[in-house]
Amino acid sequence: MGRYYNVPRNNNNNDKSNLQSYFSELASLYNDNSKKPSLDWSKPAFGHKRTYLQKVLTNANKAIEKSTKFINKIKSKQLACVSRAKSIPENATIRKEYITCGKEMCELKHGPYYYAYWKDPESKKLKKKYIGDRMPTNKNSNDDSNNNLVL
């Protein structure tokens, strides 16, 4: 009988009162067991373990966030280059340069970086301005799209 071991067994089937009491005890045991909560399938069965699909989805969401941040960083650099190029005078010459970073241990040249050179008409001095690591093709354009950048 398993868990119903305390239910009295009566081999005498002719006694209806004993039979009714036996079934009423079984019914009360069934009602007591039905009060226990059933298994919730939306929660993991053993603690807080995640399924493989949940792990894959969280990793995919993290990768999407990282790539979105990276794309936004690139776009902001491109827009900064375009805005710096708009403030350069018309007679400026734009050069591509490789520079040293200034660290003692670093012997590499970094770049290319674009700089604008022009002669100031008032002070007659040579002026230099950093544009960025991307060269805008049309610095007078009012359109700040990515179409006016050379990669």
Question: Which pLDDT belongs to residue 100?
Answer: 87
Helical (H) or strand (E) element with 126:
strand 126-132
Q: Which residues pair with 128 in a beta bridge?
A: 117
16-20, 24-28, 105-109: which has the minimum mean pLDDT? 16-20
Both structure tokens of 82: 């375009």
Burial of 7 (0-12, 13-18, 19+ CB in 10 A): middle
Mean pLDDT is highest, among 24-28, 32-36, 99-103, for: 99-103
Q: Enumerate residues 6+ apart whose C-beta is below 8 A from 150.
A: 134, 135, 136, 137
Both structure tokens of 27: 């019914």
Question: Quick one: average pLDDT of 19-28?
Answer: 74
| pLDDT beyond 80 at 81 | yes
Strands 135-136 and 149-150 come out as: antiparallel
Question: Quick one: average pLDDT of 44-66?
Answer: 82
The pTM (predicted TM-score) of the whole model is 0.49
